[in-house]
Structure 1
Amino acid sequence: MPVKRSLASLSLLAASAVVLAGCTATDAAPAASTGAAAETIQVEDNSGTQTVPAAPSSVVALDNRTFETLSDWGVELSAAAVALMPETIAYTQDDSIVDIGNHREPNLELIVAAEPDLVISGQRFSDRDADIAALVPDAAVLQLEPRDGEPFDEELRRQVTVLGEVFGKQAEAEQLVADFDAAIERAANAYDASQKVMAVTTTGGEIGYLAPSVGRTLGPIFDILGMTPALEVDGSTDDHQGDDISVEAIADSNPDWILVMDRDAAVGADDPAFAPAADILEGSEALTGVTAVQEGNLVYMPADTYTNEGIQTYTEFLNGFADALEAS
Structure 2
Amino acid sequence: MNASRLYRGAVLGTLVALALTACSSDPATESSDTAAATVTVEDNFGTQTVTVPPKSVVATDNGTFETLDTWGVPLAAGAVSLMPKTISYTEDDSIVDLGSHREPNLEAVVAVEPDLIINGGRYAQFREQFEELAPDATIVEVAPRDGEDFAEELKRGTTVLGEIFAKEAEAQELNDALDASIARVQAAYSPDQSVMGLIVSGGEIGYVAPSTGRTIGPMFDIFGLTPALEVPEGTDNHQGDDISVEAIAASNPGLIIVMDRDAGTSTGGGPDYVPATTVINDSQALQNVKAVQEGNIIYLPADTYTNESIQTYTEFFNSLADLLEKNAQTAENK
What TM-score, normalized to structure 2? 0.87
Q: Which amino acid aligns with 1:285?
A: Q
For 1:199, what is the secondary structure of its paired residue?
strand
What is residue 321 of structure 2 aligned with on the other side?
Answer: 322
| Residue of structure 2 aligned with 1:103, choices 101, 120, 127 | 101
Indicate if the aligned counterparts of 1:80 and 1:99 stay in contact, CA closer than 8 A.
Answer: yes
What is residue 131 of structure 1 aligned with on the other side?
Answer: 129
What is residue 172 of structure 2 aligned with on the other side?
Answer: 174
Shift of 1:24: 8.0
Report % sequence identity. Answer: 60
1:270 equivalent in alignment to 2:269:
yes
Shift of 1:54: 1.8
Residues in 2 aligned to 1:27 and 1:187: alpha-carbon distance in whole angstroms: 51
Relative to 1, partners in 2 of residues 1:25 and 1:245: Cα closer, same or farther, differing over 3 Å? farther
For 1:260, what is the secondary structure of its paired residue?
strand
Provide the aligned C-alpha RMSD in A.
Answer: 1.4
Residues in 1 aligned to 2:30 and 2:142: alpha-carbon distance in whole angstroms: 30
Residues 200-249 of structure 1, C-alpha deviations (whole Å, 9 max, x = no match) = 00001100000100000000000000100000000110000000011100
For 2:213, what is the secondary structure of its paired residue?
coil
Q: Where do 4+ consecutive residues of structure 1 move more than 2 Å? A: 23-28
1:152 equivalent in alignment to 2:150:
yes
Residues 279-310 of structure 1, C-alpha deviations (whole Å, 9 max, x = no match) = 11122111111000000000100000000001
Q: 5+ residue gaps in structure 1?
A: 1-22, 29-35
Indicate if the aligned counterparts of 1:40 and 1:52 stay in contact, CA closer than 8 A.
Answer: yes
Equivalences for residues 69-218 of structure 1 within 5 A: 69-218=67-216
Q: Which amino acid aligns with 2:254?
A: D
Shift of 1:133: 0.8
| Residue of structure 2 aligned with 1:38, choices 36, 42, 45 | 36
What is residue 261 of structure 1 aligned with on the other side?
Answer: 259
Q: Which amino acid aligns with 2:180?
A: A
Shift of 1:145: 1.3
Residues in 2 aligned to 1:165 and 1:281: alpha-carbon distance in whole angstroms: 43
Q: Which amino acid aligns with 2:309?
A: G
Residues in 1 aligned to 2:161 and 2:29: alpha-carbon distance in whole angstroms: 24
Shift of 1:107: 1.1
Relative to 1, partners in 2 of residues 1:295 and 1:25: Cα closer, same or farther, differing over 3 Å? farther
Q: 5+ residue gaps in structure 2?
A: 1-27, 328-334
Residues 64-121 of structure 1, C-alpha deviations (whole Å, 9 max, x = no match) = 0000000100101101111100000011111111111111121111111100000000
Residues in 2 aligned to 1:48 and 1:256: alpha-carbon distance in whole angstroms: 43
For 1:274, what is the secondary structure of its paired residue?
coil
Indicate if the aligned counterparts of 1:24 and 1:37 stay in contact, CA closer than 8 A.
Answer: no
Shift of 1:273: 2.0
What TM-score, normalized to structure 1? 0.89
Q: Which amino acid aligns with 1:278?
A: T
For 2:103, what is the secondary structure of its paired residue?
coil
For 1:208, what is the secondary structure of its paired residue?
strand
Q: Which amino acid aligns with 1:194?
A: D
Residues 161-198 of structure 1, C-alpha deviations (whole Å, 9 max, x = no match) = 00000000000000000111111011111000110000
Indicate if the aligned counterparts of 1:85 and 1:307 stay in contact, CA closer than 8 A.
Answer: yes
Alignment length, in residue pairs?
299
Shift of 1:270: 2.7
